[in-house]
Amino acid sequence: MAAMARAKMIGAIDFQRIPKAWTRPPTMGARPVLLYESDGRRQWGLYHNGAWRGGQNYQDSFTGQKQWRLDGTLINNPVRWSSS
């Protein structure tokens, strides 16, 4: 019974009325997101200083600690994004 009600609710969603803020990549926060460019390439990036910037994993040679750091690359026009 509950599955039928859920299916009816999902079927009733009007996708034209979804706010545009849900379709744009998040510009706030410190968590990198996976950005897709128009040619299909994907890259981890972060919105920083008014632009999308790429980064890479870094491992400290002394402590072995792993971090994600900005590497200075720019991602010009991401068309899609995902958070994981």
Q: Does residue 35 or residue 5 have the better pLDDT?
A: 35
Could you give the C-alpha distances from 19 to 2, 14, 15, 16, 36, in angstroms and in order?
Answer: 27, 11, 9, 8, 21
DSSP bridge partners of 43: 35
pLDDT, tens digit, 9 for 90 and up, residues 15-72: 455 555 556 677 777 788 888 888 888 889 988 888 899 998 899 999 999 988 899 8
Q: Is 23 helix (H, G, I), strand (E, B) or coil?
A: coil
